Structure 1
Amino acid sequence: MKRLLTGLVVAALFALSGCTGDAPAADDGAAAAPAGPPCLTPVESPAAASKDGKPLPAMAVKCFDGGRYVDAALLGNAPTIINLWGSYCEPCRTELPAFQRFVTAAGGKVRVVGVVVKDSRSAAQSVIDDKKLTFPMLEDRDQQFSIALSQAVGKPVSSALPATLFVAPGGRIVHTYQGEALDEEKIRALTAGYLGIEVSA
């Protein structure tokens, strides 16, 4: 009997060990987990770390595809473009397909990461599905990451979306673009100019 109880306790502990804080919470009244692009994963970068620009903020940022968090420092382990957007922002919706085409053309030479700012999960998911976006997405509903980025670059980045940041290896923000919706040609030009990476059309 004692051996049976011990076995049951061990089994229960194993079951509980699988219940981490990674489970997504219900949002907008929906119980299902969000779908769409995977979250950020570490990559190896052969490029030397940049000493120019402002450092990325050190903080955890929530993944759009679930309740997990990633370290924003991961954004600095490869040449990265951070695009802040929201479903309520028409220029954002206009330029997102250009970023998707750029991702396909870049073939892994530069990483694009979307940050959904102050938006409902269902509205953002609708845009992701409609535009068939496959690049990693982070979620910034409370704008804490956007505020930290604004402090890093010395100007507000979430009050005038879309905003696009170019991050060199080593986690240095070397350029911030805010203006008209970017097309693929402009994204390639900015990438070449600030990250030193040529991406063919």
Structure 2
Amino acid sequence: MGAAVGVVNFFRGIRFNILSRPTSRRDVVQRVSILSLMILAGLAAFLVGAGSTDITEVAGDTFLAQLEELDGAEAELDLLRDDANADPAQIQTLELRIDELQAATQIGYLKRDGDAPREGALVPDFRLLNLDGEPVQLSALGKPAIVNFWASWCAFCIEEMPDFERVHQAVGAEVTVIGINRQESLTTARQFAGQTGATYTLLLDLDDELGGRGGPYQVVGMPTTLYVRADGTVDTVKIGFHTFEEMIELTNRLIDGEIAVDREPIDDSFVTRANDLLDSQTANHAVAAELFNRLAADPSVVQDIAWQRNVSAQARIWVTNLAAWRALTPPDSADVLTADVTAAFELLELAGGLLEAGVQAGDAAQIGRGVDLFRDAQAAFAQAAENLRGVLQALAPAAE
């Protein structure tokens, strides 16, 4: 997908490293390992770009055997239909078997009447391959499920994975935890599963059919998680990062009980979270600036699909970070300066809206207005962040 994606992945990876303070030596080692993988993922995209993956490349033995049987059955049916002396009963039997195989090997979205990714609605059904290459169908599980959309470039997604594993270990017999990787390779998904310790059900959406633009889940922010009741209706939709405490609370709703787990303390102090978000947003500005510098050098880049996707991804990050920023509760001494940062964030949100609308409409003029507003918002954010950091530094000893 080009150089810009590599830069995006790199800075997003850095964001994970600063989200919260490590709680143990083991935590430090795990974070360094994950960060290294993120950098490698970014460099891989930078050097070779992204490409589509043939389903047979990740299919397991059982699923691959079904695909091969289907191909053979369809070829045999064609021969029988061309044979005037063929037995009609044999043709009918073969047609039924082909129908069975087609149903069993259909991968992706399985439409149902009235389905929608909203609370109270019937969850969109799907069948995807797991990391062993075998199909998993959501509606066939027969129990509550947690459906989480993630990708290696999404730092908050990676931060959540060890906690989803804790939920899985505590209640896996009653609730299926599912992580759907969006449009990445089997190798990448396996690497991050190993580094985060995730043993819950990880599935591959190779073409981003479920979460992409126009997909049934309409994923607008990453991570996105749906908590699904046993009857297939959506109990809760969570867009963005959520803590282990929130995971437990939302999972308890699915089982009408309480999960017995050890609850580690979470560092969510204002100083820590504010610094993390300021650093994250500053890093994302560098990525966006690179994208817009490319536009200035070559206006035809607005037609490049990879460039369009990267710009849209940046705009969504600004919205996600603004939501996280608004959730902070500053002390009185930082209230005014925090509001200044909020105002700059809101300008970025407006810029992002212009950019996304321009990308969708193919309107270069609107994209240009979005870029101009971004540069103004970036300058305002930099100044407001610098002012606030002085107060945060003074508050840090008290927070510790």
Q: Give the TM-score taking structure 2 as reference length.
A: 0.34
Q: What whole-Å deviation, never above 9, does each CA across 1:24-49 have from its counterpart, x for those lacking one?
A: xxxxxxxxxxxxxxxxxxxxxxxxxx
Q: 1:6-58 CA distances to partner (integer Å, 9 max, x unpaired)?
A: xxxxxxxxxxx9971479xxxxxxxxxxxxxxxxxxxxxxxxxxxx7221324
| Other-structure match for 2:138 | 72
Distance change (3 Å), C-alpha of 1:143 and 1:109: same
Check the 8 A contact 1:57/1:148 in 2, yes or no: no
Unaligned runs of 5+ in 2: 1-61, 69-118, 262-400
Q: SS of 2:153's equivalent? A: coil
- For the residue of structure 2 that corresponds to 1:20, the secondary structure is helix
Match among 128, 140, 154 for residue 61 of structure 1: 128
Which has the larger Rg? 2
Q: Find the counterpart in structure 2 of residue 170 from structure 1.
A: 231
Contact kept in structure 2, 1:56 and 1:72, CA below 8 Å: no
Given that 1:85 and 1:162 are in contact with CA atoms closer than 8 Å, whether structure 2 keeps it comes out as yes
How far did residue 120 of structure 1 move? 2.1
Q: 2:210 aligns to what SS in structure 1?
A: helix
Identity %: 26
Which of 105, 118, 125 is residue 170 of structure 2 equivalent to?
Answer: 105
Letter in 2 for 1:20: A
TM-score after normalising by structure 1: 0.64
Distance 1:90-1:18 versus aligned 2 partners, 3 A rule = closer
Structure 1 counterpart of 2:164, one-letter code: F
d(CA) in 2 for partners of 1:19 and 1:84?
25
Q: Determine which of 187, 207, 231 is the counterpart of 1:122.
A: 187
Distance 1:71 1:198, change over 3 A: same
Which residue identity does 1:109 align to in structure 2?
A: E
Instruction: Indicate if the aligned counterparts of 2:146 and 2:176 stay in contact, CA closer than 8 A.
Output: yes
Q: Which whole-Å CA distance do the structure 2 matches of 1:167 and 1:129 have between them?
A: 26
Aligned to 2:256: 196
Higher relative contact order (CA 8 A, sep 6+): 1
Q: Which runs of 5 or more structure 1 residues have no equivalent in the other structure?
A: 1-16, 24-51
Which has the larger strand fraction?
A: 1
Rounded to whole Å, the distance in 2 between the matches of 1:82 and 1:121 is 19
C-alpha offsets along residues 84-142 of structure 1, whole Å, 9 cap, x if unaligned? 11111100110100111111122522221111112222222111011111111111021
CA 1:149–1:55: 2 relative to 1, 3 Å? farther
Deviation of 1:165 (Å): 0.5
* Separation in 2, partners of 1:22, 1:161: 33
Report how many aligned residue pairs link the two structures: 150
Bigger shift: residues 143-152 or 169-178: 143-152
Q: What is the one-letter code of the residue matched to 1:135?
A: Y
